[in-house]
Amino acid sequence: MTEAIPGVPLGAWLAELPDERIIRLLELRPDLTQPPPGSIAALAARAQSRQSVKAATDDLDFLRLAVLDALLLLHAEAAAVPLTKLFASIGERCSEDELVAAVDDLRARALVWGDTSVRVTSEAAAALPWYPGQVTLEATDLDATRVAELLEGIDLPQRELLERLVDGSPVGRTRDAEPGTPADRPVQRLLSSGLLRQVETDTVILPRLVGQVMRGESPGPTELTPPDPVATTTKVADVDAVAAGAAIDLLREVEVVLETLSSAPIPELRSGGVGVRDVKRLVKVTGIDDQRLGLILEVAAGAGLISVGTPEPDPLDGTGPYWAPTVSADRFIESPAANRWYLLASTWVDLTSRPGLIGERGPDGKPYAALSDSLFSTAAPLDRRLLLSVLADLAPGRGVDAELASRALVWRRPRWAARLQPKPVGALLTEAHALGVVGRGALASPIRKLLAGASESDIVVAMDKVLPKPIDHFLLQADLTVVVPGPLERELAEQLSALATVESAGAAMVYRISETTIRRALDTGRTASGVHAFFARYSKTPVPQGLTYLVDDVARRHGQLRVGMASSFVRCEDPALLAQAVAAPAVDALDGRVLAPTVAVFQAGIGDVLAALRTAGFVPAAEDSSGTIVDIRARGARVPVPVRRRSYRPMSTPTTQTLGAIVAVLRKVAAAPYGAGKLDPAEAMAQLQNAAQEQASVVIGYVDPAGVATQRVVAPINVRGGQLTAYDPASGRVREFAIHRVTSVVSADQG
């Protein structure tokens, strides 16, 4: 390849690149392939369009954007600038190797082109998250604290002037900036204090740091080297242990939420999401705080465990649709813990919502509701992956906090700075800790494998290693509590949950046994001897005598009253007890009557009779036609098919084979006779924009709405919104031409 000469156009420079470098360009900027460009000139024009340049600079760090800033300041968009000038302007702020690597990366993206002398696309100015020169020229010795002190000392006219620059363009023109202006004028006072910077005789600019402080943003970045985000150092084993403990808590809480929604689905608001009252009810029933509950609901919905629809069985109260568990929830509950964690963690990484906003008020003054479309954000997955990539680049065990992590993230993606401030980053870290992705601010070992692209099975195996092994015992206490010093085996946990309720969760869970829980277990068909055997088998401590008495007492009274299905009937071997039950005030409203000394019938259903008798203090049991005790608890509601929520689909990168084919076509078009190809609209726009800048006339081929092709000599004025505004000498007036109807553009001198 011949060395690029100063001032060579991008198209000519691209034409001399080897195929591998053009393929690499298309890999880095996949938007250039949609649709495939028709020629090298079209590729060059598209690569310099504002929209494409903004997309290309989205994932550039502060150093690379600072290089663009310096090149624009050296007017490299108009003429080639020797690299020595670039190095002289900012080289003292970073090493030469880092600067060379940054230029090479920009060159690979075709944002900069040339070898020893380089040019930069003019649209880079619009892609910078600051005004050109605000990084290269502004001093870095002024810090945010000093700026805040200076702002406190200014008067109202000075503040109003600064606020206008903050709300609009940071550049302002005023005669008060000219030499000789009285020093007591607001502009002169701001210039002397450093809150304004003079650009030209009558032009001032608001320094970037001052604007950030006034907007309440975290200041920076200012250094061309990345900041160190490390806040803590912890052993890897401790990080994994903390993450595993968080994962266990998460899985338990997700099951509680699924069980709660199964028994009582939540109606969806007309505007989408769930109402504040329903959330408060869930908080009360589940014992999970509202912010964490919002995260669980969003992740569960993203994983397809809950969805909105008409559940089966239908509540039939006419307030649907409802949020309820899906049929996938049953399979999830039965899966091993590591598999369940993988589903939730991988869902969270690419979740297209921001749970941290739940409860806060939006621009319309209304609070963000859980599971509503107002939380949707295509940038949320990008922010999470960026945070995780920063953590993954640290040595294992190194942790961050919200402030330091925010600085590191903003340095990596200055164009995303508004959404990478300490508060939203802190919310992301809180979510990561809750999901067991992060422990003590450091990345857990299993998630490192996920970020490295490992298979699901490898990630699950890694998580299985850090999760504590399930235990097969518990500790019975004299106060009728059960202490579980770790995660129980699933079958054992289900049996214990049938006999006790969770009193406190954590690494060591505590269950409470009561008369109600024992009665509930007997309702499902368990016997007193079976309950005694269960506690004796799995408790590492002696069974308290009080528990034995409680089980025997409840079992003795349980089932003396038998409720059957006739609509319904109650039978009892003790006539006096049956008469007492029928006469109870709570049962009287059910219209019961005694048919025989040991049998009574009711007009109410079996569920209502059972509830009324229990309210009256009795301990009835349900039976089937054979007299066997049966469990008639309501089955959980399920939504048959999950409703697909809006998701973010990143632009797909074509395969190397596809890119190779595109480049082959470009080479073939370049080798064809002149004019053999169709003019690309992007190429036409670039040529017409150049003609407008140079105030040169061109000959355009144009097809009018009637389909008549003509050639016209015009003097372009500007190109905007797909329209060419140009002076037409033939008609003697300014006319507009649709760019997509332009078939050729040739200099009037050549024509």
If DSSP states are collapsed to H, E and C, what string results for 206-225? CCHHHHHHHCCCCCCCCCCC
- pLDDT of the residue at 341: 96
Do 618 and 702 lie in one domain? The reply is: no
- Say which residues have a Cβ less than 8 Å from residue 309's Cβ, sequence separation at least 6: 321, 322, 324, 639, 640, 641, 643
Torsion over CA: 437, 439, 442, 444 (sign): negative
pLDDT at 118 over 50: yes
Largest CA distance in the chain: 118
User: What is the pLDDT averaged over residues 677-681?
Assistant: 63
CA distances from 296 to 3, 280, 302, 409 (A): 58, 14, 10, 26
Per this entry, what is the length of the chain?
751
User: What is the pLDDT averaged over residues 470-498?
Assistant: 88
Provide the CA 578 distance to its chain's centre, in angstroms: 61
Do 249 and 350 lie in one domain? The reply is: yes
CATH of the domain at 705: 2.30.30.100
pLDDT at 515 over 60: yes
Whether cis (ω within 30° of 0) applies to the bond prior to 35 is yes
Percentage of residues of the chain with pLDDT beyond 70: 93
With respect to residue 535, please indicate whether it lies within any of the assigned structural domains: yes
CA distances from 563 to 217, 524, 588 (A): 67, 14, 16
- pLDDT of the residue at 485: 86
Number of domains comprising the chain: 5
- pLDDT of the residue at 450: 93
Do 525 and 569 lie in one domain? The reply is: no
Do 440 and 306 lie in one domain? The reply is: yes
Residue 316: band (very low, low, confident or very high) from pLDDT cuts 50, 70, 90: low
- pLDDT of the residue at 312: 79
With respect to residue 201, please indicate whether it lies within any of the assigned structural domains: yes
Which tokens hold the place of 629? 């005790």
pLDDT in tens, 140-158: 677 888 899 999 999 999 9
Quick one: DSSP state of residue 453?
T
How far apart are the C-alpha atoms of 172 and 414, rounded to whole Å?
24
Provide the CA 288 distance to its chain's centre, in angstroms: 22
Q: Residue 317: what residue type? A: D
Alpha helices, H only, 524-676: 528-538, 545-557, 575-582, 585-588, 606-615, 656-671
pLDDT in tens, 221-267: 989 999 999 999 999 999 999 999 999 999 999 999 998 999 889 99
Which tokens hold the place of 558? 């349980």
**From the CB of residue 153, how many other CB atoms can be counted at a distance below 10 Å?**
10
pLDDT in tens, 405-426: 999 999 999 999 999 999 999 9
**From the CB of residue 472, how many other CB atoms can be counted at a distance below 10 Å?**
12
Q: Which of 405, 435, 466 is the last residue of a domain?
A: 466
Do 241 and 320 lie in one domain? The reply is: yes
User: What is the pLDDT averaged over residues 724-750?
Assistant: 83
With respect to residue 650, please indicate whether it lies within any of the assigned structural domains: no
Do 531 and 575 lie in one domain? The reply is: no
Residue 400: band (very low, low, confident or very high) from pLDDT cuts 50, 70, 90: very high
Residue 385: band (very low, low, confident or very high) from pLDDT cuts 50, 70, 90: very high
- pLDDT of the residue at 676: 46
Which residues face 200 on adjacent strands? 203
Do 182 and 253 lie in one domain? The reply is: no
Strands 621-622 and 561-564: parallel
pLDDT in tens, 657-673: 888 888 888 888 777 65
Cβ atoms of 718 and 692 within 8 Å: the answer is yes
With respect to residue 637, please indicate whether it lies within any of the assigned structural domains: no
With respect to residue 647, please indicate whether it lies within any of the assigned structural domains: no
Residue 24: band (very low, low, confident or very high) from pLDDT cuts 50, 70, 90: very high
- Say which residues have a Cβ less than 8 Å from residue 366's Cβ, sequence separation at least 6: none
The pTM is what? 0.79
Considering only residues 735 and 271, tell me which one the structure prediction assigns the higher pLDDT.
735
- pLDDT of the residue at 458: 95
pLDDT at 76 over 90: yes
With respect to residue 39, please indicate whether it lies within any of the assigned structural domains: no
CA distances from 636 to 148, 236, 288, 502 (A): 58, 41, 21, 20
Do 209 and 271 lie in one domain? The reply is: no
Q: Among the listed ranges 294-308, 567-581, 618-632, 725-739, which one has the minimum average pLDDT value?
A: 618-632
Q: Which residue has the tokens 């692209």?
A: 453
User: What is the pLDDT averaged over residues 636-648?
Assistant: 69
pLDDT at 280 over 60: yes
How far apart are the C-alpha atoms of 356 and 369, rounded to whole Å?
11
Q: Which of 188, 214, 240 is the last residue of a domain?
A: 214
Q: Which of 622, 643, 666 is the last residue of a domain?
A: 622
Burial of 261 (0-12, 13-18, 19+ CB in 10 A): buried
- pLDDT of the residue at 23: 95
User: What is the pLDDT averaged over residues 593-601?
Assistant: 86
End-to-end Cα distance, the chain: 32
- pLDDT of the residue at 562: 67
Considering only residues 165 and 740, tell me which one the structure prediction assigns the higher pLDDT.
165
Do 323 and 418 lie in one domain? The reply is: yes
Q: Among the listed ranges 195-199, 399-403, 706-710, which one has the minimum average pLDDT value?
A: 706-710
Type and span of the H or E element at 713: strand 709-720
pLDDT at 310 over 90: no
Do 548 and 568 lie in one domain? The reply is: no
Highest mean pLDDT among 181-185, 409-413, 544-548: 409-413
Residue 675: band (very low, low, confident or very high) from pLDDT cuts 50, 70, 90: very low
Q: Residue 733: what residue type? A: R
Quick one: DSSP state of residue 486?
S
Cβ atoms of 514 and 499 within 8 Å: the answer is no
pLDDT at 359 over 70: yes
Which tokens hold the place of 251? 């899985």
Which tokens hold the place of 333? 């509950």
SS (H, E, C) 372-412: CHHHECCCHHHHHHHHHHHHHHCCCCEECCHHHHHHHHHHH
- pLDDT of the residue at 565: 53
pLDDT in tens, 189-217: 999 998 999 988 889 999 999 999 999 88
Considering only residues 703 and 305, tell me which one the structure prediction assigns the higher pLDDT.
305
Q: Residue 426: what residue type? A: G
Which residues face 669 on adjacent strands? none
pLDDT at 631 over 70: no
Cβ atoms of 611 and 620 within 8 Å: the answer is no
Which residues face 307 on adjacent strands? 324
Residue 4: band (very low, low, confident or very high) from pLDDT cuts 50, 70, 90: very low
Type and span of the H or E element at 443: strand 442-443
Question: Could you tell me which of 359, 333, 348, 342 has the C-alpha nearest to residue 383?
Answer: 348
Do 286 and 391 lie in one domain? The reply is: yes
Average pLDDT, the chain: 87
Q: Which domain holds residue 355?
A: 232-466
Question: Could you tell me which of 737, 732, 730, 731 has the C-alpha nearest to residue 692?
Answer: 737
With respect to residue 193, please indicate whether it lies within any of the assigned structural domains: yes
CA distances from 140 to 63, 128, 220, 533 (A): 15, 19, 9, 75
3-state helix, strand, coil in the chain (%, to 5): 45, 15, 35
Residue 629: band (very low, low, confident or very high) from pLDDT cuts 50, 70, 90: confident
With respect to residue 91, please indicate whether it lies within any of the assigned structural domains: no
Do 456 and 318 lie in one domain? The reply is: yes
- pLDDT of the residue at 399: 96
How far apart are the C-alpha atoms of 254 and 251, rounded to whole Å?
5
Type and span of the H or E element at 233: strand 232-233
